[in-house]
């Protein structure tokens, strides 16, 4: 895939210590949101869209969260005309590699999703995750309604005050204008290519972090 970045791919092949830069930071579980919506009283479907670097790893984590119904790797922030990987990699489209998460709000809250999101990537690095650099790798929350906006912004303030990260969070909180599904070969990429060097170094540790930090939210995923 670019292959994520040529530098990362080369480093992954040697498992150099520098590749640790694309792994989730070893800080353990972060505080739960102080403000959240209660669980719905009946099953349903709600949608959240997050961007936290390469969408392979982000999707690999969220599809293993209990209460998630479906995930889709794609693009948000730009136009339909440029919602193609070849265009997005030029870093001129305003798109971020994103993941759409469809979940059951009677089993999982938006705040719980945010907690997972902030745990599995570094929200303090502007327009990059590890060796992957560019606006398409930015940290962003694309909110679908006022509740999502309020919970996300309040949670970021809470984490900053608690010094959950050494540096200030730079995650964008912006309205969701559209989400565009990425090419088929990107869907479930980490599941289908578990031994690909980038997946081994950057994505499988994210899954391990979810399982270790939030075992009550973790479920096995074998694909649909």
User: Which pLDDT tens digit goes with each residue over 47-93?
Assistant: 999 999 999 999 999 999 999 999 999 999 999 999 999 999 999 99
Give the H or E element holding residue 146. Answer: helix 146-161
Whether 9 contacts 198, CB under 8 Å: yes
Place of tokens 């469809």: 102
What string of DSSP letters covers 5-68?
-HHHHHHHHHT-GGGGGGSPPS--PPPPPSS-PPPPSS---EEEEEEES-HHHHHHHHTTBTTE
Nearest to residue 207, comparing CAs of 193, 195, 221?
221
> 54 an active-site residue?
yes
Ramachandran class of 188: left when φ > 0, alpha when ψ lies in -120 to 50, beta otherwise: left
Specify the 3-state DSSP secondary structure of 199. Answer: helix
196 pLDDT higher than 70: yes
Domains, the chain, ranges and CATH?
44-213 (3.30.1060.10)
Choose, from 12, 30, 49, 54, the residue flagged as catalytic: 54
Tokens, residue 8: 């990362």
Specify the 3-state DSSP secondary structure of 82. Answer: helix
pTM given for the model: 0.91
- pLDDT of 28: 75
Nearest to residue 66, comparing CAs of 200, 224, 211?
211
Q: Using 50, 70 and 90 to split pLDDT, how confident is the model at 27?
A: low
Residues 6+ apart with CB under 8 A from 114: 33, 141, 151, 152, 155
Whether 152 contacts 114, CB under 8 Å: yes
Q: What is the DSSP letter of 224?
A: -
């Amino acid at each position: 895939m670019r292959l994520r970045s040529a530098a990362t791919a080369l480093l992954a092949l040697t498992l150099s210590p520098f590749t640790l830069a694309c792994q989730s930071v070893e800080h353990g579980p972060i505080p739960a949101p102080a403000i959240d919506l209660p669980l719905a009283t009946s099953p349903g479907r709600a949608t959240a869209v997050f961007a936290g670097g390469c969408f392979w790893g982000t999707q690999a984590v969220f599809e293993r969260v209990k209460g998630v119904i479906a995930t889709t790797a794609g693009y948000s922030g730009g136009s339909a005309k440029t919602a193609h990987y070849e265009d997005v990699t030029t870093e001129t489209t305003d798109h971020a590699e994103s993941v759409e998460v469809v979940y059951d709000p009677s089993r999982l809250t938006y705040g719980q999703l945010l907690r997972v999101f902030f745990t599995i990537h570094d929200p303090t690095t502007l327009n990059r995750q590890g060796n992957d650099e560019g606006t398409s790798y930015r940290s962003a929350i694309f909110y679908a309604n006022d509740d999502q906006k309020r919970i996300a912004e309040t949670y970021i303030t809470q984490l900053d005050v608690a010094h959950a990260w050494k540096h200030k969070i730079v995650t964008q909180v912006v309205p969701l204008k559209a989400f565009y599904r990425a090419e088929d070969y990107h869907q479930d990429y980490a599941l289908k290519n578990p031994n690909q060097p980038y997946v081994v170094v950057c994505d499988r540790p994210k899954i391990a972090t979810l399982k270790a930090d939030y075992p009550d939210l973790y479920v096995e995923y074998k694909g649909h």
